[in-house]
Amino acid sequence: MKNHPENDAERLRAVIETVGSIMNSISGPLALLNSDLVIVKANVSFCHTFGLPQNKAEGTSILDFGQSDGERKRLKELLDRVLKGKAQFQSIDVPYYAKGSGHKIIHLSANVVHKTENCLHLIIVSVDDLTYIEQLKEDSLTISKKICLSVAASQEESEKRQASSDAAFAEIKKLKDQLEAERAYLQDEIKLEYNHDDIVGKSDAVKSVFYKVEMIAGTDTNVLVLGETGTGKELVARAIHSLSLRKDRALVKMNCAALPSNLIESELFGHEKGAFTGAYSKRLGRFEVANGATLFLDEIGELPLELQPKLLRVIQNGEFERLGSSSTIKVDVRIIAATNRDLEEEVRKGHFRDDLWYRLNIFPITVPPLRERTEDIPLLVDYFVKKIAKRLGKSIEFIPLNVMDALQNYHWPGNIRELENVLERGVINSSGPKLRLIDELKKPFKSLPSNQRTLEAVEREYILLVLAQTNWKVGGKDSAAEILGLDRSTLRARMRKLNIHKP
């Protein structure tokens, strides 16, 4: 599937900003060109070399730096070969007249650092000033001495240029590896819609969460976000990241329950080529992608026990090895972990390491279930209905009182995620400006008079209710077993005993 041009352009802007910040930390003159050979970023050294005011090089065609039509033609041919992929690295010497510093010989080296299917390319240009002729008094040195000095200076400058180019391109290669890994990660993330700044609510329970987020966001302390499924734990993680000092980098996400245990280690720590069957190339893990940023480990309670010591080592020392490598990699990553499990109970059962639990539980934030913040339901309903109606091209102008009462009196075992799903079905079902619910929201079984039903009847009815809400999904994420807090096999056994069958 081809990438959408707007997505490519957005990623291109992100790459330009990232490369520009790194260019400013490199002493040698560097410029970043777009597909039209126009400078989009240039560091201070580049502007100084060409006698330009700082940050005034951007928007200028690199072809304007040629002194003659012939030199400009040679320069364009070189960059066209690089753009078309016919040459990974090319260089050229171009005469240039710099304001205030006279004639110079400028050596340019070019290499593609980013490209997309829509031909949005970025070229990095490294510049070296080869002007080594000094003004010497004609009566102090003979012509032969001048020649000797020129040759020696040329050799020394050539060696310096080579060393500078090697260092610059080593830095650029490292940058390219990280950008490629981050681009690959963001291509997956860009497909999803997030509301990381939209934690809706004004209840005391939500205000307490806001307070804790603001208190911890500005530090590098690891955070553990606790709460039932569907309460919005990822939104809390994104809010912490967006208020942190690492907000200029993407929040890198890893769901520990979404992958088989044999792939989680590679996803977290990366692997070398040939590390295992199917490892056809080196791959950076989420920890390397998140270096200098924040890593959100969702469903941390699902992390296999055998991988927990390796995660503990990263948290303690910031060190790990890729699969298939003995080289130690150091990273600076802030971890925000989330779980709907009782980790203390998991520690007692031997399913979770106590030392890892202590490392993660430095600053816990518990996200309240929706049934404990019913005063927020009208705000959430208004928010979700507007958002869903806009996406579906509908206009829902008001919500009947009986509909709002039904929404506020329901116990919401699936929390905010279930509320959003119910409202989406309602908007789809509404043909006019009034919201109509398609779901029959029954009150929780605990409100039923105990003297009218047996325990078995109550259990059967509740299991049927949860199965209906999950579209009869028995096991897995957001399933009836997860909501009921049962193993899938235990739930199936109860269904057989209670004669529960899918209609």
Q: What is the mean pLDDT of residues 398-416?
A: 91
91 in the same domain as 163 = yes
> 308-317 and 261-269 helices cross at what angle (nearest 10)?
20
Asked if the model's pLDDT at residue 182 lies above 80, the reply is no
Total Cβ atoms within 10 A of residue 470: 21
Asked if the model's pLDDT at residue 224 lies above 90, the reply is yes
Two tokens, residue 310: 């390796």
Mean of the per-residue pLDDT values of the chain: 79
DSSP for 294-314 reads EEEEETGGGS-GGGHHHHHHH
458 in the same domain as 343 = no
420 in the same domain as 312 = no
> What's residue 183's pLDDT?
55
> What's residue 387's pLDDT?
92
Q: Could you tell me the CATH number of the domain that includes residue 168?
A: 3.30.450.20
180 in the same domain as 211 = no
* Nearby residues of 223 by Cβ (< 8 Å), 6 or more positions away: 216, 237, 240, 335, 336, 337, 362, 363, 364, 365
Two tokens, residue 452: 């009218």
381 in the same domain as 362 = no
269 in the same domain as 208 = yes
- Split at pLDDT 50, 70, 90, the class of 198 is low
Q: Which of 57-66, 71-80, 176-185, 188-197 has the lowest mean pLDDT?
A: 188-197
Domain stop point among 131, 166, 189: 189
* Residue 197 or residue 296, greater confidence: 296
- C-alpha 492/C-alpha 225 separation (Å) is 31
> What's residue 336's pLDDT?
96
> What's residue 368's pLDDT?
94
- What's the pTM? 0.53
In this structure, is residue 503 part of a structural domain? no
Domain stop point among 366, 385, 414: 366
Domain stop point among 348, 366, 384: 366
Instruction: Give the chain's domain count.
Output: 3
The rounded percent of the chain whose pLDDT value lies above 70 is: 76
In this structure, is residue 199 part of a structural domain? no
Q: What is the mean pLDDT of residues 7-12?
A: 70
> What's residue 185's pLDDT?
53
Q: Which of 86-95, 401-410, 460-469 has the lowest mean pLDDT?
A: 86-95
| 41 closest CA partner among 118, 128, 125 | 125
Quick: pLDDT tens for 31-84. 887 878 888 888 888 787 777 776 677 888 877 776 667 777 777 777 777 777
- Split at pLDDT 50, 70, 90, the class of 369 is very high
In this structure, is residue 21 part of a structural domain? yes
Contact of 38 with 61, CB cutoff 8 Å = yes
491 in the same domain as 358 = no
> What's residue 293's pLDDT?
93
Bridge partners for 96 per DSSP:
104
343 in the same domain as 378 = no
340 in the same domain as 231 = yes
In this structure, is residue 16 part of a structural domain? yes
In this structure, is residue 42 part of a structural domain? yes
In this structure, is residue 197 part of a structural domain? no
Q: Could you tell me the CATH number of the domain that includes residue 422?
A: 1.10.8.60
Dihedral of CA 104/107/112/114: which sign?
Answer: negative
214 in the same domain as 342 = yes
Quick: pLDDT tens for 284-304. 889 999 999 999 999 999 999
221 in the same domain as 129 = no
- C-alpha 288/C-alpha 333 separation (Å) is 9
Asked if the model's pLDDT at residue 109 lies above 60, the reply is yes
In this structure, is residue 502 part of a structural domain? no
The rounded percent of the chain whose pLDDT value lies above 90 is: 33
- C-alpha 471/C-alpha 291 separation (Å) is 40
> What's residue 57's pLDDT?
78
What range defines the domain where residue 50 resides? 5-189
- Split at pLDDT 50, 70, 90, the class of 139 is very low
In this structure, is residue 195 part of a structural domain? no
> What's residue 355's pLDDT?
93
Q: Which of 161-175, 206-220, 422-436 has the lowest mean pLDDT?
A: 161-175
> What's residue 314's pLDDT?
94
140 in the same domain as 17 = yes
* Residue 192 or residue 273, greater confidence: 273
